[in-house]
Amino acid sequence: MSYQALYRVWRPQRFDDIIGQETMTQTLKNAIMTHQTSHAYLFTGPRGTGKTSAAKIFAKAINCHYQQDGEPCNECETCRAITAGALNDVIEIDAASNNGVEEIRDIRDKAKYAPTQADYKIYIIDEVHMLSTGAFNALLKTLEEPPTNVVFILATTEVHKVPATIISRTQRFNFKRITAADLFKRMAYILDQKEMTYDPAALKVIAKAAEGGMRDALSILDQVLSFSDNHVTLDNALDVTGSLTEALLADYVQTIQDNAPKQALQLLQQILAEGKDVQRFVEDLIEYVRDLLLYQQAPELVAASEMDLLDEHFKALSAAMPAERLYGVIDILNETQQQLRFTNHPEIYLEVATVRLTQSQIAQVASATVATPTADNEQVAALSQQVAQLQAALQKIEVDGPVKVPAAKPKAKAAKQISKKVNRKAIYPVLAEATRANLEKLKEVWPDLLNMLDVTKRAIMKVSEPVAASESGVVVAFNYAILFERANNDQDLLRILEDGLNRLTGNPFKVVLVPHDAWPEIRQEYLQNHAVPVQHETTDQATGTPKPEQKPAVIEQAQALFGDAVVVEKD
């Protein structure tokens, strides 16, 4: 006999075999025992949670003459025929493929006839949300005047796509995601029955990856078994699911707690080198950090869902990391998850996220304060202003109810502060001699330059790009202000970049950094103050007289310097 997928072989044949849906199966059994079945049911819930299995068991139980406590006997002719899919009175329709009005009209016509072999005719319509509007209308007509001895069971993963008029004519059952612990138990049971052994950690990994679906869990288990020798190993489970070991996740989170970007990036390289899936990594990480948070507040909940496999490292991290930090980590990871959807270079986003994660907010505030000696006064002034606003707002609330406090604009303010840190004295000489040809040349060697850096520095520089270049200098813009600050304060990095460019081009280069947000403003300032009629690609500063009103020349010059793409003419 050819190999049969586990989820087929181990498909539940009794209500009691359906895992994790006890309330639903008990209600269905009661209905059958007391002969109080409805003529239409709606089974909703995620895939692989037992909806169609329950539908088939229901079809057997209602027709079986030997049913006991609402369960089918699974032995009689009727039961066996239904199990084999050979009973004409039990009709399974996949709406994903049969979504036409004709099909449903067909049901309407045929449903009128009494069942031929069994007591009840059962229509099981899977993925019912896929029906066309016309088909839904036809179905509605049938449900409004239900023929006797006919039961409709509609199953769907997306109940919000089912018209309310249909839903209101059915008895609805919501199938839940199956807990990891329940999936674990079922897999362990099946392996025991097959006389196979397993590493408990392996089943835990599979249970997590299945995300609440029994069919997915058993499909993954099938794959793992295909290259295990009657023993399910953790390594195989990790390979098949692309998941990470708990220990690796703990190590990674530890680097966040330690504010250690270098170790974090090295660990990340190691994880990626092992071929782990980037999306999966971020998902696993979010779940891990969420568990840390949850454990702080309700240890017993985590213990229950994680099957008591929590280790000391997990507990230590949960005790050490403040909740605000963990929330911050989740925010950054969520953001990264969004970015990953639209990129072909997921590693880059992951590296940027890693650098951001390993900088605590305290460290960020501290470095900002050191860099701008005036920040103290400014911050105090800003705070006093906010306090005054809040007090005024409070007084207003007492008089005429809730009112919106005008929001401060921390972002604009931060951008301004950062812009102040840009070394304009170093940028202007580069701009004075900048040409597009030079910029193109630099862009060409940029990837080679990045490859010369070590892992930490490369991660920082990956969000940068050259935006202007002369024969002897280059302006490099950064996407993230925080990374600009880091790089700008890193003399070692600047020296390595300059050495590298020297080796790659044969010319000595001065590297000047700017944050991307501040770049348009700096460029504009320069052009306003140094505008000259453009005849040559290289401009002569001596002839440059400030003529802010000479706009076309400014634009022409900008195009000469930076190319068409970056020049946006503003009215």
CA angle in degrees (0–180, nearest 5) for 541-547-427: 45
User: What is the closest distance, in whole angstroms, from the C-beta atom of residue 64 to Zn ion in the complex?
Assistant: 3
Name the segment binding Zn ion (CB under 5 A); options: 8-16, 61-69, 261-269, 340-348: 61-69
User: What is the closest distance, in whole angstroms, from the C-beta atom of residue 110 to Zn ion in the complex?
Assistant: 24
Helix/strand/coil for 439 = helix
Name the segment binding Zn ion (CB under 5 A); options: 6-14, 76-84, 155-163, 342-350: 76-84
Distance of CA 314 to the CA centre of its chain: 23
**Contact status, residue 99 vs residue 105, Cβ threshold 8 Å:** no
User: What is the closest distance, in whole angstroms, from the C-beta atom of residue 63 to Zn ion in the complex?
Assistant: 8
> What is the rounded distance in angstroms from the CA atom of residue 37 to the CA atom of residue 41?
9
> What is the rounded distance in angstroms from the CA atom of residue 10 to the CA atom of residue 19?
12
**Contact status, residue 101 vs residue 131, Cβ threshold 8 Å:** no
Q: Which is nearer to Zn ion, 18 or 40 (CB)?
A: 18
* 117 counts as binding Zn ion under rule CB under 5 A: no
* 285 counts as binding Zn ion under rule CB under 5 A: no
> What is the rounded distance in angstroms from the CA atom of residue 132 to the CA atom of residue 41?
19
> What is the rounded distance in angstroms from the CA atom of residue 558 to the CA atom of residue 551?
10
Name the segment binding Zn ion (CB under 5 A); options: 67-75, 337-345, 381-389, 461-469: 67-75
Q: Which is nearer to Zn ion, 73 or 101 (CB)?
A: 73
Question: Which of 64, 104, 202, 468: binder of Zn ion (CB under 5 A)?
Answer: 64
Q: Please spell the DSSP secondary structure of 516-554, one letter per residue.
A: GGGHHHHHHHHHHHH----SSSS--GGG----TT-HHHH
User: What is the closest distance, in whole angstroms, from the C-beta atom of residue 119 to Zn ion in the complex?
Assistant: 12
* C-alpha distances out from residue 346 to 76, 189, 336, 338, 356, Å: 56, 38, 9, 11, 15
Cα–Cα nearest to 488, from 455, 513, 525: 513
Q: Which is nearer to Zn ion, 74 or 360 (CB)?
A: 74
> What is the rounded distance in angstroms from the CA atom of residue 455 to the CA atom of residue 255?
15
Name the segment binding Zn ion (CB under 5 A); options: 72-80, 421-429, 478-486, 529-537: 72-80
Q: Which is nearer to Zn ion, 79 or 512 (CB)?
A: 79
Name the segment binding Zn ion (CB under 5 A); options: 19-27, 28-36, 66-74, 216-224: 66-74
Name the segment binding Zn ion (CB under 5 A); options: 18-26, 68-76, 281-289, 497-505: 68-76
User: What is the closest distance, in whole angstroms, from the C-beta atom of residue 30 to Zn ion in the complex?
Assistant: 18
User: What is the closest distance, in whole angstroms, from the C-beta atom of residue 118 to Zn ion in the complex?
Assistant: 11
Name the segment binding Zn ion (CB under 5 A); options: 62-70, 217-225, 405-413, 459-467: 62-70
Longest dimension (CA), the chain: 104
Which string of x and - marks every residue 364-383 that binds Zn ion (by CB under 5 A)?
Answer: --------------------
Q: Which is nearer to Zn ion, 74 or 223 (CB)?
A: 74
Sign of CA dihedral 135, 141, 144, 146: negative
* Sequence-ordered list of residues with C-beta below 8 angstroms from that of 499, at least 6 positions apart, any chain: none
* 79 counts as binding Zn ion under rule CB under 5 A: yes
Q: Which is nearer to Zn ion, 68 or 343 (CB)?
A: 68
User: What is the closest distance, in whole angstroms, from the C-beta atom of residue 115 to Zn ion in the complex?
Assistant: 15
* 73 counts as binding Zn ion under rule CB under 5 A: yes
> What is the rounded distance in angstroms from the CA atom of residue 504 to the CA atom of residue 445?
7
Q: Which is nearer to Zn ion, 64 or 256 (CB)?
A: 64
Q: Which is nearer to Zn ion, 72 or 515 (CB)?
A: 72
Question: Which of 27, 37, 76, 489: binder of Zn ion (CB under 5 A)?
Answer: 76
Name the segment binding Zn ion (CB under 5 A); options: 70-78, 305-313, 496-504, 550-558: 70-78
* DSSP annotation of 71: B
Characterize the bridge pairing of strands 464-469 and 473-478: antiparallel
User: What is the closest distance, in whole angstroms, from the C-beta atom of residue 88 to Zn ion in the complex?
Assistant: 17
User: What is the closest distance, in whole angstroms, from the C-beta atom of residue 120 to Zn ion in the complex?
Assistant: 13
**Contact status, residue 487 vs residue 460, Cβ threshold 8 Å:** yes
Cα–Cα nearest to 87, from 75, 97, 78: 78
**Contact status, residue 231 vs residue 197, Cβ threshold 8 Å:** yes
Q: Which is nearer to Zn ion, 73 or 260 (CB)?
A: 73
> What is the rounded distance in angstroms from the CA atom of residue 411 to the CA atom of residue 414?
5
User: What is the closest distance, in whole angstroms, from the C-beta atom of residue 17 to Zn ion in the complex?
Assistant: 15
> What is the rounded distance in angstroms from the CA atom of residue 436 to the CA atom of residue 16?
73
Structure tokens that stand for 10 in this block: 């181990």
Q: Which is nearer to Zn ion, 20 or 72 (CB)?
A: 72
Say which amino acid occupies 98. Answer: N
User: What is the closest distance, in whole angstroms, from the C-beta atom of residue 62 to Zn ion in the complex?
Assistant: 11
Helix/strand/coil for 405 = coil
Q: Which is nearer to Zn ion, 64 or 512 (CB)?
A: 64
User: What is the closest distance, in whole angstroms, from the C-beta atom of residue 57 to Zn ion in the complex?
Assistant: 11
**Contact status, residue 221 vs residue 232, Cβ threshold 8 Å:** yes
Which string of x and - marks every residue 19-58 that binds Zn ion (by CB under 5 A)?
Answer: ----------------------------------------
Footprint on this chain of Zn ion (rule: CB under 5 A): 64, 66, 72-73, 76, 79
